[in-house]
Amino acid sequence: MAGNFVDRNTNQNGCGVRENASFTLNTVDRHAVAYDARHHCLGGEVSGTLQAKGEGGWSLNYINPVLQPLPENAVGIDLYNGAVTGNTAATLTKKNDGTSSGPEVAQRKTPDWIVRRLIPLECGRLQGFPDGWAEIEPLTDLRELPFWRKVYAKDCEIKGKKPNRKIMQADSEEGGRALMRWHDGLHSMAAEYAMWGNGMALPNALFFVKSAFRELGKPPGEVKLGSLFDGSGTMPLCAAMCGGHPVWASEIEPYPIAVTKTHLPNMKHLGSVTDIKGFLIEPVDIITFGSPCQDLSIAGKRAGLDGARSGLFWEAVRIIWEMLLATGGKYPRFVIWENVPGALSSNKGKDFEVVLNELLHLREFAGGRADQSILQHGKWGGFANYGAVAYRIVNAQHWGIPQRRRRVYAVCDTSGESAGVVVFERKGTEWNFEPCIPQGKEVAGLTADCYSWHDRMVASKPSGGGATWSVHNENPQRM
């Protein structure tokens, strides 16, 4: 596998072959799973080995290419080159009708281990998402064309690409068809790998959102959530799971936008954070944001909050205080920030000090008192509670899914001292992941059995990364 199958020197991406927890998903490594073929039924010739395609996607190779020694005097019959005798068989192939062609051998031994790359479906499960979440609906509604043309133009602008003239023809039927073809081609395996690698683990996010819902003290159906840097739609889905309303989201990548428009059809998309005015958008009770982590991550160049991508943190803060000023400090009540643990050590810890204080100072825009600044004293620990602001590092493998994914969550209570109550479990808090898709129109495009994988492979096993359960312990053909 390209990337590191064993650990990187950062100690962040797994430690070799493990039975309980997967590597941390990202967009750099090609994560793999190893099967013990001696004790798992893989369905005869099915090995599940993944092959690279020219366009960068991946597909299952259902014929195991591992070469096995032949017994003494065994003969391999090569239908193309005649009979051959030796210790190694040539490549095996298989026709669609089940008949064999090409090399045939007298005996083929099953390998002890099979290693293949994770398929996108498994990556989604490792993040705790329902099956089918990565699917997108074809673009057929002509009323949606202006929205998607703006998304396309913005994507070209950000990535420095020259827009396709035909797609940009808003007044032509041919231009509409070209735009539809572009939209319907957004879902590739490469795009899905990137979305999962950049995304949040749903169980962790759900805990913090559910805790914020509880502390708001209002009926769940009245709670509204807005998501900045939305990505795969983790936070809006959490709001829907809690019985609330994901009102709006900000995202610039076309494929994740298509995903959330498919499954959260009532949620408004606001575009880039740089174009949003907090005093013009609908007020919400909770604003969540996982500002880009590339400049904070220990796997990056550590440019910190001054970096071009992680520096977008300031845009999110601006939007929040603009909303607070416009609503007399009433909205939002809670702000939830998520990022990589490298944020705690970026710029020798000074960047995280800035993050905590910027969250703390939001209270001033809510009409509250000027709180004393939070100061760094040595290395930041794994958690802290400052009353109005609190943070905590969590690891997804202990929250109901078998993936080692450490993230830091920081919460600000803009008008109270309940941040610590949201961040930490209180007596009676149920934090084990129990996924449930709400009935009604809030979430669409999922089947009734979209979480059957969880019931079958996780819920019935010990929590906390037990040594015998995994989202991989199935024949890939059955997934």
What band does 218 get if pLDDT is binned at 50, 70 and 90?
very high
pLDDT number for residue 348: 86
Mean pLDDT of 64-79: 41
* pLDDT exceeds cutoff 80 at 195: yes
* Three-state secondary structure string covering 332-387: CCEEEEEECHHHHCHHHHHHHHHHHHHHHHHHHHCCCCCCCCCCCCCCCCCEEECC
- 366-378 pLDDT, tens digit each: 766 667 888 888 8
Q: Mean pLDDT, the chain, as a whole number? A: 76
Burial label, 256 (beta-carbon count in 10 A; 0-12, 13-18, 19+): buried
pLDDT at 440: 78
- The confidence score (pLDDT) of residue 162 equals 96
Q: In the predicted model, is pLDDT for residue 92 greater than 60?
A: no
Q: Average pLDDT, stretch 168-179?
A: 95
pLDDT tier, 237 (very low <50, low <70, confident <90, very high otherwise): very high
Distances (CA, A) of 302 to 3, 289, 325, 355: 20, 20, 33, 15
**Weakest mean pLDDT among 7-16, 57-66, 401-410:** 57-66
Angular region, 74: left φ>0, alpha ψ -120 to 50, beta rest: beta
- Percentage of residues in the chain with pLDDT exceeding 90? 48
In the predicted model, is pLDDT for residue 99 greater than 70? no
pLDDT digits (tens, 9 = 90+) for 388-421: 999 999 988 888 887 888 999 999 999 988 999 9
Cβ atoms 303, 310 nearer than 8 A: yes
For residue 6, pLDDT beyond 90: no
pLDDT at 296: 46
Residue 35: per-residue pLDDT: 59
Phi, psi for residue 357 in degrees, rounded to 5:
-70, -35
Environment class of 328 (CB within 10 Å of its CB; exposed 0-12, middle 13-18, buried 19+): exposed
Q: Residue 442 — very low, low, confident or very high, per pLDDT cuts 50/70/90?
A: confident
Q: What pLDDT does 180 receive?
A: 97
pLDDT given at position 397: 83
- How many contiguous H segments (helices) and E segments (strands) does the chain have? 11, 16
pLDDT in tens, 112-165: 777 777 889 988 998 999 999 999 999 999 999 999 999 999 999 999 999 999
pLDDT on residue 305: 53
pLDDT reported for residue 364: 84
Question: What digits encode the pLDDT tens for the residues 312-327?
Answer: 889 999 999 999 999 9
Q: Using an 8 Å Cβ cutoff, are 307 and 295 in contact?
A: yes
The mean pLDDT value for 24-37 works out to 61
Burial of 359 (0-12, 13-18, 19+ CB in 10 A): buried
Task: Look at residue 463 in the predicted model and tell me its pLDDT.
Answer: 46
pLDDT at position 105 is 44
Mean pLDDT, range 442-452, rounded to an integer = 92
- pLDDT of residue 48 exceeding 60: no
pLDDT value, residue 306: 58
For the segment 270-280, the average pLDDT, to the nearest whole number, is 95
> Over the stretch 339-374, which tens digit does the pLDDT of each residue have?
988 889 888 888 899 999 999 999 887 766 667 888
- Output DSSP code: residue 139: -
Rounded to 5 degrees, φ, ψ at 197 are: -65, -30
Distance of CA 457 to the CA centre of its chain: 20
At residue 298, does pLDDT exceed 70? no
Diameter of the chain measured on Cα atoms: 87
Task: Quote the pTM value.
Answer: 0.77
More confident residue, 185 or 56: 185
Q: Please name the amino acid found at residue 472.
A: H
- Beta-carbon contacts of 239 under 8 Å, excluding residues fewer than 6 positions away, are 209, 223, 224, 225, 245, 246, 286
pLDDT at 58 over 90: no
Residue 278 or 13, more confident? 278
For the segment 192-220, the average pLDDT, to the nearest whole number, is: 93
Average pLDDT of span 293-304: 48
Q: Which residue has the higher pLDDT, 130 or 298?
A: 130
